[in-house]
Amino acid sequence: MTETNPLLETWTAPFGVPPFDRIRAEHFPPAFEAALAAHKAEIAAIANDPAPPTFANTMEALERAGSLLTRVASVFFNLTLSAATPELQAVERDWAPRLARHRTEVALDPGVFRRVAALHAERAELGLEPDQFRLLERRHMGLLRAGAGLDAVARGRLTDISTRLATLHTAFGQNVLADENAWHMVLSEADLDGLPESARAAARAAAQERGVDGYVITLARSSVEPFLTFSTRRDLREKAWRAWVARGALDPARDNAALVKEILTLRAERARLLGAADFAVHRLEDTMAKTPEAAEALLRAAWEPARQRAAAEQAELEALARQAGHNGPIEAWDWRYWAERARMAKHDLDAAALKPFFELEAMLRALFETATRLFGVTFEERADIPVYHPDVRTFEVKNPDGSHRGVFLLDNFARTGKRSGAWMSSFRVADALDGRTSPIVVNNNNLARATPTLLSFDDARTLFHEFGHALHGLLSRARYPSQSGTAVLGDFVEFPSQVLEHWFEVKDTLRRHARHYATGEALPDELLDRLLAERNEGQGFATVEYVGSALIDLALHRHPDPAALDLAAFEDAFLKEIGMPPAIGLRHRPIHFGHLFAGGGYAAGYYFYLWAEVLDADGFEAFEETGDPFHPELAAKLKAIYEAGDTRDPMELYTAFRGREPRVDALLRKRGLVQA
């Protein structure tokens, strides 16, 4: 099979990029079979090695083991997110549980655990370097947290739970994607009142993609949010909003409520087997926050100021609506519409009129220039690197001395078969275990396709956010793959992405790159000042919808009896208990909350974004205190965080950069929630 299966061949494209043009769905099952067999043999060789355990024959051998499986799985799961087909999804349904079972069996292998535990007991006498010492400590903790220290019966049950969860996660994500692909609202010219040309162009492109005459609004955030913001058709706004919040349950045949219930039940059982009171307690033991109580305290510190701010915002919107003849209450499908008009009235800022100054290509130039000025790396677009879809663009990333650093793939546009949202992932992580391996990193966005592609202020900020994750992967200098790039504690992973957002709002960045796409005119200083002064408008709404989602995440994962959970009733009762304004609601309802239920990455951890925002707000204030957003000494200290991966404790990394631990009040200042 190695002669005909491109996944099992040596990849000869520039920089070892996968041969996407030759890879098909049918190649994955035999490649997974071969990769699993190889990994099992590697693990058996480590576990049964008759030689006494050493760091080299155990820890470094574990780092090398599974390299083929990692390579195949990285390609596969990136494609299922970005370029899903029915054939790929069928393979995913079959293989996700098998891969989960394999990962759990590896983590619970008693021979491996004995060797790691023996090394851990002698760690102080091994003469390890700091990154090696941390690798051993974290591997030992990870095995214990996986259940390697339990008896055979408990280990078997944990394996069954992991296998079943993988099936449920896959089904959850595929259900949401199916709803997003299936639903669209066809509009005629008469239905477009209020929509700016950029939104009309995106709706035309969406209709063309679906072979539909006229215009189409989809459930991609980049399509539905502009419609809710600008459309004067309240009836159509309501229709779009109701479909948007019902993703994951639009079709009774794929209602995610039952999946959520089973996922929570299995996670709770797993936590109890591992000695924790609930899943949130288990999950947060290995974070900077340490406990659910600490995470919730942070969320509650923002909740009340945000709710008060949101109440004031709602009163302002209702007064404006009454003046325009709307006498009913502001509903959830009205808020964005009236908030936009309030912004225009208060700051004389028309979001649609601003979009021509935020053209995609200009914002990409701003991204790359920021990375160069801060960290010295450069980006050179290449046409000779294979891609998995025509939308994808490829860039070689170079070090300050011109040497190769990595490959950056950029996939910007929403399309059928692509998950909604924006994210970063890797086809290959950087490491230096056996010579330098350069990273291959991808940023996915879901921008509405148009010519030219004009962005909202928030769209452009999101580009910077995801690029921060990409730089975290691209700049990594970790020696060991499991410590590379974004493989850090969950509530630290968002700091490198969120702190980079601040450079989008640096005046010098905007003056250089926020230029009218047609005329080249720079965004006028007076307009720029008003735009930056307006940044905290709507922070009550934004903070409430986010914090509400983070609070319900913790509540769901602390539920005492998830097997008896009535999800809809729980959601309603929870929103009443916290005082959620009905006109705002959750940013992510449980039935489509992919962060939690399409995988486990943010389960009991959606608070990560706010925790990281404490760090990013406090961290950027360091640059503000110098008066130079590109201060060389501070930039070098910040670059050290991006380079370190998980080789050091994150609080140590942060304090080495900042000179002290972070302060929560920086977050409230950033969001404008400090009481006058």
Catalytic annotation, pick one of 466, 505, 545, 613: 466
- The β-bridge relationship of strands 184-187 and 215-218 is antiparallel
Q: Where would I find the H helices in 285-429?
A: 292-323, 335-347, 351-354, 360-375
Q: Is 466 assigned a catalytic role?
A: yes
Which residues have C-beta within 8 Å of that of residue 327, sequence separation ≥ 6? 321
Which residues lie below 8 Å from residue 567, measured CB to CB, with a gap of 6+? 257, 260, 261, 590, 591
Using CA atoms, how far apart are residues 564 and 558, in angstroms rounded to an integer? 13
Report the alpha-carbon distance of residue 519 to residue 530 in Å, rounded: 21
Q: Taking Cα atoms as reference points, which of 553, 482, 600, 644 lies closest to residue 141?
A: 482
- Give the residue among 276, 306, 273, 302 at the shortest CA–CA distance from 290: 276
Q: 3-state SS of 467-536?
A: HHHHHHHHCCCCCCHHHCCCCCCCCCCCHHHHHHHHHHCCHHHHHHHCECCCCCCECCHHHHHHHHHCCC
Q: Choose among 561, 587, 556, 550: nearest CA to 573.
A: 556
Under 8 Å between Cβ of 581 and 544: yes
Name which of 598, 603, 601 is nearest 555 in CA terms: 603
Alpha carbon distance 198, 657 (integer Å): 41
- Sign for the pseudo-dihedral over CA of 587, 589, 595, 600: positive
| Residue 613: burial class (beta carbons within 10 Å; 0-12, 13-18, 19+) | buried
In three-state secondary structure terms, 453 is: coil
Rounded-to-integer distance, Cα 106 and Cα 148, Å: 10
Pick from 285, 66, 43, 263: which is nearest to 162 by CA? 263
Task: Give me the amino acid identity at 456.
Answer: S
Query: Measured at the alpha carbon of residue 338, what is the angle toward residues 335 and 343, in degrees to the nearest 5?
Result: 115
Nearest to 424 by CA among 359, 497, 362, 360: 497
Alpha carbons 449 and 464: distance in angstroms, whole number: 19
Q: What is the C-alpha to C-alpha distance for residues 550 and 295, in angstroms, rounded to an integer?
A: 9
Grouping H, G, I as helix, E, B as strand and the rest as coil, residue 243 is helix
Phi, psi of 411 (to 5 degrees): -125, 100
C-alpha distances out from residue 104 to 156, 158, 159, Å: 9, 8, 6
Alpha-carbon distance of 549 to 270, in angstroms, equals: 23
Active site residues: 466
